[in-house]
Chains A and B, each alone.
Chain A
Amino acid sequence: MLKLIVQRLIFSVITLTIVAIVVFAMTDLLPGDWATAYFGKWATEEGLAALRDEYGLDRPATERFAEWFSGALRGDFGMSLSRKKPVVELIRYRLRNSLLLGGLASLVTIPLATLLGITAGLRRDRKADAIISTASIVGMSTPEFVIGTLLIWALSVGLGLFPSMTLGNPDAPIADLLPNVVMPTATLTIASTAYLLRMVRTTTINVLTSEYVEMATLKGIPRSRVIFRHALPNILLPTINIMALMLSGLLGGTFVVEVVFNYPGLGRGLVDAVSFRDVPMIQAIALLWAVMYVFFNLGADLLTTFLDPRLRSLRG
Chain B
Amino acid sequence: MNSLSAVPVRLDQSLRWFAQIWRSLRRSRQGTVGLMIVIIHMLIAVTSPLIVPYSPSDIDGKNRLAPPTREHPFGTDSFGRDLFSRTLLGGRAAIGVALLAAAVAVIWGGLLGILLAFIGGRVDEVAMRLIDALLAIPGLLVVLLIVVALGTGFGVLILTLGYAYGVSTVRVARGAALGFVARDFITAARARGERKGAIVRRELIPNLLDVLLVEYVMRASWSLTAISSLSYLGFGIAPPTPDWGRMVFENQVLLAISPWGTLFPVLALSSLIIGINLAGDALSKAIGLDRSREAPT
Contact = CB atoms under 8 A, between A and B. Distances in A.
Nearest to B149: A30
Contacts of B129: 11, 14-15, 18
**Interface size range on A against B:** 35 or more
A256 B232 contact: yes
B69 interface: no
A249 B138 CA distance: 8
Contact of B146 (A26, A142, A289, A290): A26
Given A141-B221, A141-B270, A18 B130 contact: yes
A277 interface: yes
A117 to B, nearest CB: 11
B141 A149 contact: no
Interface string B103-144: 000000000000000000000000001101111111011101
B221 A19 contact: no
Contacts, number: 131
B255 to A, nearest CB: 5
A205 to B, nearest CB: 4
A143 B137 contact: no
B137 A19 contact: yes
Interface string B252-265: 10011001001100
Interface stretch (A42-50, A91-99, A102-110, A150-158): A150-158
A15 B132 contact: yes
A137 interface: yes
A27 B150 contact: no
Interface string B273-292: 11011100100000000111
B182 interface: no
A122 interface: no
A145 interface: yes
A249 B130 CA distance: 20
A210 B296 contact: yes
A290 B137 contact: yes
A205 B229 contact: no
Nearest to A14: B129
Contact of A137 (B140, B225, B255, B278): B278
Given A15-B132, A37-B149, A157-B256, A22 B292 contact: no
B292 A26 contact: no
Contacts of A243: none
B142 A145 contact: no
Consensus secondary structure, chain B interface: helix
B141 A18 contact: no
Given A137-B274, A293-B136, A286 B141 contact: yes
Contacts of B262: 149, 153
Contacts of A294: 136
A151 to B, nearest CB: 11
Nearest to B292: A205
Nearest to A199: B291
A290 B149 CA distance: 21
Nearest to A148: B252
Interface string A246-261: 0001001001100100
B267 to A, nearest CB: 9
B140 A152 contact: no
Interface string A273-303: 0100100001000100110011000000000
Given A15-B136, A31-B149, A143 B141 contact: no
Nearest to B225: A143
B238 to A, nearest CB: 14
B191 interface: no
B136 A290 contact: yes
Count chain B CB atoms within 10 A of each CB in A15, A26, A146, A270 and give the residue with the most: A146
Count chain B CB atoms within 10 A of each CB in A18, A143, A294 and give the residue with the most: A143
A144 to B, nearest CB: 7
Contacts of A16: 136
21 contacts: A16-B136, A18-B133, A22-B133, A22-B134, A27-B145, A30-B145, A32-B149, A141-B221, A142-B274, A145-B249, A157-B256, A205-B292, A206-B292, A209-B295, A210-B296, A214-B296, A249-B138, A255-B233, A271-B144, A274-B144, A274-B148
Interface of A: 11, 14-16, 18-19, 22-23, 26-27, 30-32, 37, 124, 137-138, 140-146, 149-150, 152-153, 157, 201-202, 205-206, 209-211, 214, 249, 252, 255-256, 259, 270-271, 274, 277, 282, 286, 289-290, 293-294
